[in-house]
Structure 1
Amino acid sequence: MDRILYGDNQFFGINHASEEKARQQLMKFQDIRVIADTLHDAYDAGVRGFACTTHERIIELVKIIKSEPERWEGLRFYPGMPYAHKYANAVTELGYFGALKQLLPSGGIVDAMMRGGKALVSGDVAKVATLLIDAEMKAFKGLDTPVIFLQNIVTDLILGLGYYEAFAIFEEHVRTRYNAEAGFFSMNLPMLLPALDSVGLKNPIVCANVNKSAFRMSGGIEAYREITAKYPARVIAMSVLASGAISPSEAIEWVVNEPYVESILFGASSRRNIESTVELIRKFDARKAVPA
Structure 2
Amino acid sequence: MSTTKTMDRLLFGDNQFFGVNHMSEEKARAQAMRFQDLSAIISVLDDAYDEGITTFMCTTHSRIAEIADHVRANPDRYKDFTFYPGMPYAHKYADAVTEYGMVGAVRKFLPEEGMVNAMMRGGMSIAKKDIEGIITLLIDAEMAMFRGLSTPVIWLQNVVVDLLLGLGFTDAFTIFARHVKERYNAEPGFITMNLPMLLDTLETAGIENPIVCSNINKIGFRMSGGIDAYLEALETRRFRAVAMSVFASGAIAPREAIQWISEQPNIESIVFGASSRGNIRSTKALVDEFFAARVPELAR
Same fold (TM over 0.5): yes
AA aligned to 2:84 is Y
**Structure 2 counterpart SS, 1:20:** helix
In structure 1, the partner of 2:216 is 210
In the alignment, what sits opposite 1:11? 17
The answer to whether the Cα contact below 8 Å between 1:8 and 1:52 also exists between their aligned partners in 2 is: yes
**1:22-66: CA deviation from partner (whole Å, max 9, x where unpaired):** 111111111101111100100111111110111111100110111
In structure 2, distance between residues paired with 1:222 and 1:37: 39
Supply the distance in 1 between the matched residues of 2:25 and 2:72 (Cα, whole angstroms).
33
Distance 1:102 1:19 in 2: 32
* Identity fraction in percent: 56
Q: Hey, what's the Cα distance between the residues in 2 that align with 1:76 and 1:210?
A: 24
Q: Tell me how far apart the structure 1 counterparts of residues 169 and 70 of structure 2 sit (CA, whole Å).
A: 38
**Partner SS for 1:184:** strand
Structure 1 residue 227: deviation in Å?
2.7
**Counterpart in the other structure of 1:199:** 205
Of the three residues 152, 155, 164, the one matched with 1:158 is: 164
Distance 2:251 2:97 in 1: 37
- Cα gap change, 1:240/1:55 in structure 2, threshold over 3 Å: closer, same or farther? same
Q: Is the 8 A contact 1:13 1:23 kept in 2?
A: yes
Whole-angstrom CA distance in 1 between matches of 2:271 and 2:21: 15
Unaligned runs of 5+ in 1: none
State the alpha-carbon separation in 2 of the partners of residues 236 and 134 from structure 1: 24
Q: 1:125 to 1:101 in 2, by over 3 A?
A: farther
Q: Which residue matches 2:182?
A: 176
Give 1:108's match in structure 2, choosing from 120, 137, 141.
Answer: 120
Q: Say if 1:99 and 1:113 are closer, same or farther in 2 by CA, change over 3 A.
A: farther
Whether the aligned pair in 1 keeps the contact of 2:16 and 2:274 (CA below 8 Å) is yes
Quick check: 2:11–2:57 contact (8 Å CA) kept in 1?
Answer: yes
Structure 2 residue identity aligned to 1:26 = A
Q: Quote the Cα distance in structure 2 between the aligned partners of 1:257 and 1:125.
A: 42
Alignment of 1:195-274 (within 5 A): 195-274=201-280
Are positions 1:277 and 2:280 aligned together?
A: no
Match of 1:148 among 132, 151, 154: 154
**TM-score of the two chains, using structure 1 as the length reference:** 0.91
Q: Which residue of structure 2 lines up, in the alignment, with residue 73 of structure 1?
A: 79
CA RMSD of aligned residues (A): 2.0
Structure 2 residues not aligned, in runs of 5+: 1-6
Measured at CA, do residues 182 and 290 of structure 1 come closer, stay the same or move farther in structure 2, by a change above 3 Å? Answer: closer
1:215-252 Cα distance to aligned partner (Å, 9 max, x none): 00112221012234443110100000000000000001
CA deviation map 1:144-167 (0-9, x unaligned): 111000000111111011011110
For each residue in 1:175-221, what CA deviation from the matched residue of structure 2 results, as whole angstroms up to 9, or x when unmatched? 01110000001011010001001111111000100000100011222
Does the aligned pair in 1 maintain the 2:235–2:265 contact within 8 Å? no
Q: 1:17 to 1:109 in 2, by over 3 A?
A: same
Write the distance in 2 (CA, Å) between the matches of 1:289 and 1:177: 33
- CA spacing shift, 1:101–1:113, aligned 2, 3 Å: farther
